[in-house]
Amino acid sequence: MQKHFYTFLAFIFFAQLSWAIDQTYYSTIDNTKETTLRDNLYTITASGPKDMSYAKLWTAYATTDVYPADSVGKAGKIWDMYSNVLFTYSKNQCGNYSDVGDCYNREHSLPKSWFNEKTPAYYDLGHIVPTDGKVNNQRSNYAFGECANGTRLKNGSNVATGKLGKSTFPGYTSYANVFEPDDQYKGDFARMYMYMIVRYKKGNKDGVSISADDGTKMFNTTDTHYGLTDYSIALLMKWHRLDPVSRKEVDRNNGMQQVQNNRNPFIDYPILAEFLWGNRAGQVFSFNNAIASFDPEFVLGVSDGWKEGGTNPEEALDTPNSAANARKVLIEGQLYIVIDDQIFNIMGQQIK
């Protein structure tokens, strides 16, 4: 296989994004911290879901969860985060299933039994994604986590992108089953959970109480740590950092606003997670140093959304030397970006 190496251009990831918002949408979070920051994020996200229902999720996926038109061999197919199957929109809806690849359904990444199917969380696109029915059934109501030697379902060339096994992540009972998504989607699910715990914070009219046992391992019944347990903070922040925002998430976030009138702020400003649960907790959030995923300086699949000053785009990178280490690779006609031991497609989605 022939390989060609070129100079890495940070803006290549952003060049094909065609929709964005500005800071006015988030104006109330500027120069805020801690509970005020969280509460203002709640108010912003509470603008949706608007004009939604559980049945409307099926049609919403045509806007939020299909591969973009420039995806070779995948354009318009359902983007399933639980399997490698390319489902056809509408045609392959579940229905009955017996194996991986039979059909896709509506997966509550935060299981609906955890919050007693309370609306509007029950039909909020912020955490409900199309997934292979068989793999969704395997995941069941188990908490997200990490496991070794878990069971990955297969049906010929149809393979699950996730596995079920015994927990190996500190803070969760070692003999308990957890579901571990593939690395390329861990950040996506982490930011979905962050959205949900802010949008449905306990004490508001539409807030949810997590009562199921597996759910209480991730969400507490008080407002301590803004609703997350020590276990989920450690897990979700790890996933959030290791799998940065991709074009897929940006596109989905734009589609979510189009369909239900709100957005996930942890996709737009991923650094926000650090101010609530990470290494900037207790500090004041300011737009002076924040870089949104819809800003030209933001490098999809690499940036954490923060710079200490100046205007150099490389200051937005998690590792300032990443751009110098990056190279373009042409593999069988497909262009990829390689940064150290990580591989991204040309749209910024981390592949490995």
Domain ranges of the chain: 46-241
pLDDT of 114 above 80: yes
The pLDDT confidence band at residue 22, using thresholds 50, 70 and 90, is confident
Q: What is the DSSP letter of 320?
A: T
Mean predicted confidence (pLDDT) in 150-178: 95
Q: How far apart are CA 92 and CA 77, in angstroms?
A: 10
Q: How far apart are CA 302 and CA 25, in angstroms?
A: 24
Helix, coil or strand: residue 52: coil
Half-sphere exposure of 40 (CA within 13 A, CB side): 16
Q: How far apart are CA 248 and CA 81, in angstroms?
A: 11
Give CB contacts under 8 A, 24+ apart, made by 66-71: 68/247, 68/251, 68/347, 70/16, 70/347
pLDDT of 2 above 80: no
Mean predicted confidence (pLDDT) in 298-312: 80
Q: What is the pLDDT of residue 205?
A: 80
Buried b (16+ CB within 10 A) or exposed e, 165-187: bbbebeebeeeebbbbbbebbbb
Q: What is the pLDDT of residue 315?
A: 42
Is the CB of residue 307 less than 8 Å from the CB of residue 321?
Answer: no
Q: How far apart are CA 75 and CA 244, in angstroms?
A: 23
The pLDDT confidence band at residue 100, using thresholds 50, 70 and 90, is very high
Backbone angles phi, psi at 319, to 5 degrees: -120, 110
The whole-model pTM stands at 0.84
Q: What does the DSSP assignment read for 87-145?
A: BPTTTTB-S--SSTTS-EEEEESS-GGGGTT-TTGGG-TTTEEEEEHHHHHHHTTPPB-
pLDDT of 216 above 80: yes
Lowest average pLDDT, out of 65-69, 111-115, 300-304, 337-341, goes to 337-341
The pLDDT confidence band at residue 204, using thresholds 50, 70 and 90, is confident
Mean predicted confidence (pLDDT) in 144-148: 97
Q: 95: cis peptide before it, omega within 30°?
A: yes
Q: How far apart are CA 104 and CA 89, in angstroms?
A: 9
Is the CB of residue 239 less than 8 Å from the CB of residue 43?
Answer: no
- CA 333 remoteness from chain centre: 29
Buried b (16+ CB within 10 A) or exposed e, 196-225: bbbbbbbeeeebbebebebbebbbbeeeeb
Query: Residue written as tokens 């292979």?
Result: 132
Mean predicted confidence (pLDDT) in 192-220: 91
pLDDT of 68 above 70: yes
Sort 329 into a burial class: Cβ within 10 Å, 0-12 / 13-18 / 19+: middle
Helix, coil or strand: residue 338: strand
Mean predicted confidence (pLDDT) in 251-265: 98
Is the CB of residue 328 less than 8 Å from the CB of residue 337?
Answer: yes
